[in-house]
Amino acid sequence: MIAPEAAGLKLSLRPPYRPQALSISLNHAGIALLAALGVLGIVVYVIKLITAWGDRAEWAYPTVVLMFILSTATAAPLIAYASRMAKGYWALPLRRVAALYAVPSLLSFVLLIPIMASLPPLDGRSTLWFEFRAGAPFLTDALALAILLLTGMALLWFSAVPDLAGPPSRVRAMGRWQRLLYLNWAGTARQWKVLRAANLALGAFYLMGYAFVHMLLTTDLGQSLLPGWRSGIFPVYSAVTGIQAGIAITLLTAALMRRFSPEAGRFIGDEQAAALGKILVAATLMWFYFFWSDFLLIWYARLPSEVAAMQVTVAITYILPFALTGVLMFALPLALLIFNRVRQSLSLISGVSAMIVVGLLFDRIRFFVAPMANPSPFGHAMTELPAPYWPNALDVLFVIGFIGLMIAVFVYAASRIPVLNGWEMRQGAMLRKERTFMKTHVYVIGKPD
C-alpha cells in the first residue's frame, strides 16, 4: 500500500491550515532563467506579429506551440475535475496545481488570433464548416477557445476563493466589485454547497469544451489544410494524447514542487505518482490504440489521397518526428511504466513524464507543420508530397521562448494563488484516518457527497 504523506492526514482545523503561494525571487537561477525565457517568448511573438502577419508558413511552428499548450496546460485542469468527480482523495495536493494551468492556457488565445488570420479562404478546400461562412472559422474557433479558457479560469477562481478571501471582516471591507469577485465569502453551509456544485458543473463543461476545441482546431489548423487528410479519429487522438501529456505535466510539476517548495512538498509524494501512474499507463496505451486505428483504416482502404497524407505525417516527410513521438510517447514510457517501481515513485515517473511532454512536441510538429506550411491547401488530393518544413532560427527561438513563457506564467500564477487547495485538504484530513485493522493498518475514507 502506498501511504499518503503523513502531513496531509494531520492538518489542523483550528487554526485552519492555510496554504501559501510560492515564494519566488529573481535571485534564484531557475526563476531568472524562466523570466528570461518569458521575455524571449514575448519578443519573438512580437517579431512574428510584425514580420509575418498573414504568412501562414511562418505561423507553422507557432501553431505547434499552440497545440502543445492546448495538449498540456489546457488539459491539466481536467485532472482536478476528474479526481473531484471520482472522489479521489489522493489528488488533493494536486488539484490546485492542475487547476493553476488554466492561467498559462490563456496564452493559447494570444497565439490563436494571428494563426487564424493567416488561414486561406474556406472555398475550394475541405472544411468542417461546409458552406457556412458567418464567422467561420475565425469567430467560431476563437469563441470556442474563449469558452474553454473562461471555464478554466472560473474553475480555478471559485475553488481558490475560500483560500484567498480571508476573514469575513476583510471581505466586508472590500469594494462592491471586489466583494463580488470574492463571492462575499463567509463560509456558510450554503456557500460551501454551491461551491462544490459549481466545481462539478464547470468541470463537466470544461471537459465538453476541451473535446470541442480539439475537434475544431485539429481540423481547421490541420486536416482542412492538407488535401487528402480525412480522419474522424484524429481529433480524438489529439484530445486523448493531450490528456496523456496533461497528466505528465502535472506529475512533472508535482515532482518540482516537492523538490523546490518545502511547504507544498510535504504533502506531495508517491501516493500521487501511484494513482496518476495507472492513468498514465492507460493513456499511453491509448496513444497506440488511436494511432493504430487511424493508420490501419488508411492502410487497408488504400485511397491514394489518404495514403499521401499519411506519408506526410507518418511514413516519409515527417518520419523523424514520428519516430521520436513513437519512442517518447509510447515505446519507452510503456516499457518503463509497466514496472511498479517506476510507476509508484514520483521521482522516476517524473522522468517518464518529461519524455512524454517532449514527445508531444514532436507529435504536434508532424501533424501541424505540414498543413500550415502547405502552399496549396485547395482540392481533394495532393499532387506531390511536400518537402519537410524545418524550423529556422526564429522558429526555434519561438518554440523555446513561448514554452518558457508558458512555464513562467504558471510560476507567476503560483506565486499569487496558493498552490494547494487548503479547504479541500482540510476536509480530506477530516474524512481520512489511519486505523488499525487486525494486525495491519488501513485508511478509512469518508465520502459523504
Partner 1 sequence: MAMQSQAKRELLALYEEPDQAADAVERLHGAGFEDNDIEILSSTPYPEGAFGEGHTKHRLFAFPFAGAACGMAVGIAWIVGAQVSLPIITGGKPVVAVPAIIQILYEGTLLGAVLFTVLGVLFESRLPDGVGLYDDRISEGYIGISVMARERRLPDAQIALEEASPIDLLSKEGSLMHAPGTT
Cβ 43 vs Cβ 394: under 8 Å: no
**Residues of the shown chain interacting with partner 1 in the complex, contacts defined by CB under 8 A:** 12-16, 128-136, 140, 143-144, 147, 150-151, 154, 158, 162, 166-169, 171-172, 176, 179-180, 183-198, 201-202, 205, 208-209, 212, 216, 423, 426-427, 430-431, 446, 448-449
Q: Which one, 168 or 379, has the nearer CB to partner 1? A: 168
Considering the complex, state which of residue 179 and residue 266 has its C-beta at the smaller distance from partner 1: 179
* DSSP structure class, residue 58: G
In the bound complex, what is the minimum distance in angstroms from residue 308's beta carbon to partner 1? Answer: 25
Judged by CB, which is closer to partner 1: 169, or 383?
A: 169
Considering the complex, state which of residue 152 and residue 277 has its C-beta at the smaller distance from partner 1.
152
Q: How far is the CB of 145 from partner 1 (least distance, A)?
A: 11
DSSP 85-119: HTT-GGGHHHHHHHHHTHHHHTHHHHHHHHHHHTP
Task: Give CA–CA dist 397/391, Å, rounded.
Answer: 10
- Distance between CA atoms of residues 12 and 337, nearest Å: 36
CB of 163 to partner 1, least distance (A): 10
Shortest CB 103 distance to partner 1, Å:
17
Nearest distance in Å: CB 127, partner 1 = 9
User: What is the SS3 assignment for 387-399?
Assistant: CCCCCCHHHHHHH
| 18 dihedral zone (left: phi>0; alpha: psi -120 to 50; beta) | beta
Instruction: Output the nine-digit C-alpha cell for 352.
Output: 517518464
Give whichever of 210 and 291 is closer to partner 1, judged by the CB atom. Answer: 210
H or E stretch covering 437: strand 432-437
* Closer CB to partner 1, 57 or 147, in the complex: 147
Shortest Cβ 140–partner 1 spacing (Å): 7
First to last CA, the chain: 25
- The stretches of 374-421 forming alpha helices (DSSP H) are 393-416
Task: Look at residues 64, 8, 5, 58 and name the one whose alpha carbon lies nearest to residue 406.
Answer: 64
